[in-house]
Structure 1
């Protein structure tokens, strides 16, 4: 064969290879639609409750008046509950109290959450592990009020009437 013919055949073969490589492969495709299902969010609820009388640190009621250095406590009972497959309590807090009248005595009282029970079971505060909650459980919190030892004479003879205190629970995710 002549060189020219060989070159023409090589060029033609190369062109065929290039054209063959430029084509795309086609695969069949099909689509389908799956019907979904509903999901419903759970709930976390708490009803308003009541607090008992203030007791001195020895467990007796206040009869003659509190003095700087006293720690008083009261228990407040509320109903907490909810729904959800992995519903648990992750945190329990109390707000600053609302006093019927603000005065030097109310300013000298430091109020904090001391203890809590849920459904009769004592909880370790602050909560380290999530605590499962049922549809309805009784939450009892013990709140302490410490009368500041640096309180001045302007606190004498005053009344601190607790109007309300907000107890807040925060949801946690509990996977058994």
Structure 2
């Protein structure tokens, strides 16, 4: 084999080695890790609160609402068309740098009537007053609280409206004759606080 042929073979072998080893070439790298630390979450809660002279979180009796002929008087025997109110108090727990939460009550409440009265109907609403905080204020249903209201007292005024009835041919019947001489027991009155997104 002459020198020229040997040189060509050597060059070809070197090229193959370089091509085959291209995937194994490396460059220098490094990694460093530091401690991430920790962060703490806030809280959101609502708890029934007994305020003297009451022995429960709510007033003992329902009373007739403002604007009624007997406003402020205790309800003894209601009739369709009446609007009655009851106040209940709650303690607010609200902490978080960017916390905001809506305060709501449901529009209806489960009621058990004795004897049974299929046509009985009642609507529920609520307004709120916040005290014991830097900015005492009224809050409408769906209004918001923030961490500035932490440990505040929320007084909910529930408004129950008993719609004026239909006659016996109403479709559907509402507060008709079967609602005479009944006891209407309202289930628990609920107030909810639900976080709203500060960064929608």
Distance (Å, rounded) in 1 between the aligned partners of 2:63 and 2:5: 109
Higher relative contact order (CA 8 A, sep 6+): 1
1:126-153 alpha-carbon deviations (Å, 9 max, x no partner):
34xx531332122222222121322122
Show the counterpart of 1:160. Answer: 184
Q: Contact (CA 8 Å) 1:68, 1:147: kept in 2 or not?
A: yes
Show the counterpart of 2:196. Answer: 172
Alignment of 1:31-46 (within 5 A): 31-46=31-46
Could you tell which deviates more after superposition, 116-125 or 89-98? 89-98
Which of 75, 87, 99 in structure 2 is aligned with 1:87? 99
The answer to whether structure 1 residue 51 and structure 2 residue 58 are counterparts is yes
Provide the TM-score with structure 1 as the length reference: 0.72
1:23-81 alpha-carbon deviations (Å, 9 max, x no partner):
33322333433223222222112121423333235251245632112222223221112
Instruction: List gaps (5 residues or longer) in structure 2.
Output: 50-56, 166-173
RMSD: 3.3
* CA spacing shift, 1:107–1:136, aligned 2, 3 Å: farther
Spell out structure 1 runs of 4+ moving beyond 6 A: 4-8
Which of 146, 149, 167 in structure 2 is aligned with 1:132? 146
Instruction: List gaps (5 residues or longer) in structure 1.
Output: none
Distance (Å, rounded) in 2 between the aligned partners of 1:106 and 1:73: 23
Distance (Å, rounded) in 2 between the aligned partners of 1:147 and 1:85: 42
Q: Offset at 1:164?
A: 3.4
Q: Offset at 1:9?
A: 4.8
Which of 133, 136, 143 in structure 1 is aligned with 2:158? 143
Structure number with the higher strand fraction is 1
